[in-house]
Amino acid sequence: MINQIPVNLLRFILLLLAQVLVLSNMNFSSFVNPYVFPLFILLLPFETPRWLLMIIGLFAGLTLDIFLGSTGMHAAACLAVGYLRPFLISVITPKGTEFEISPNIHSQGVAWFVFYTGITMLFYLTFYFLLEAATFFNFFLLLVKIVFSTLMSVAFMLIFLFLFSARKKRRFV
């Protein structure tokens, strides 16, 4: 359990740098605004208590806010993701599935992860864009932005997962 901390810390730094220096710097278009950073919260160990998920979500979000200059908006969204994560996992996971310590693309499978990240990002980006839009509320623009950004976010998250997930060696029984 203890060696989960350096792994997650490393993942936090990697995702933060990928988000801040690469993705948020790319400026695809005003409709595509992908975020990979929430993956950090999604990959925390399964047994993380809900209150800790919320606290970690809040501080992770605040860190992202500092870099992107968007006071509290990502913090609010990350916090909500942390709160809803246990609920989401219980909904999309079939009964009787065996868990490893944390979500892993090789043990949970790609389909599961597409659902997991897709639903989370749809929620996250809706929440965030609504907060950000505040004054010029253009429903159509908002919808297009949410859909395209979610698709791109999921794609980038899968790339990240395939690049950095350790495949567990099968033990012989």
Partner 1 sequence: MYNLLRFFIRYHLFILFVALEAFCFFLIYRNGKYQKAAYISVANGISGKVYDVYKGGADYFYLRRYSDSLVEENAYLRSQLLESKFDNRVDSGMVSDTSKRFVQTYTYITARVIRNSVNRSTNLIYLDKGRRHGITPQMGVIAPNGIVGQVIDATDDYAAVMSVLSKDFKVSARFKKNEYFGNLHWNGLSSTTAILEEIPKHVPVKEGDTVVTSGYSQMFPRNIMIGVVKKIKSHPDKTFLDVTVALSTDFGNISYVYVAKNLRKQELQQLDSLTKTTNND
Q: Which residues bind partner 1 (CB under 8 A)?
A: 20-21, 24-25, 27-33, 50-51, 54-55, 58, 61, 65-67, 69-73, 75-76, 79-80, 83, 131-136, 138, 141
Using CB atoms within 10 Å of the CB of residue 77, give its burial: 0 to 12 exposed, 13 to 18 middle, 19+ buried.
Answer: buried
Burial class (CB in 10 A: 0-12, 13-18, 19+), 99: middle
Least distance (Å) between residue 72 CB and partner 1: 3
Cβ 106 to partner 1 shortest distance, Å? 31
Q: Considering beta carbons, is residue 119 or 133 the nearer one to partner 1? A: 133
The token pair that represents 137 in the structure block: 């509320």
C-alpha span between 157 and 27 (Å, rounded): 18
Amino acid at 51: W
Q: Which CB, 65 or 120, lies closer to partner 1?
A: 65
Q: How far is the CB of 2 from partner 1 (least distance, A)?
A: 25
Helix, coil or strand: residue 139: helix
Q: Which is nearer to partner 1, 82 or 103 (CB)?
A: 82
- Whichever of 78 and 161 has its CB closer to partner 1, that residue is 78
User: Cβ(48)–Cβ(41) under 8 Å?
Assistant: no
In angstroms, give the least distance from the CB of 67 to partner 1: 5
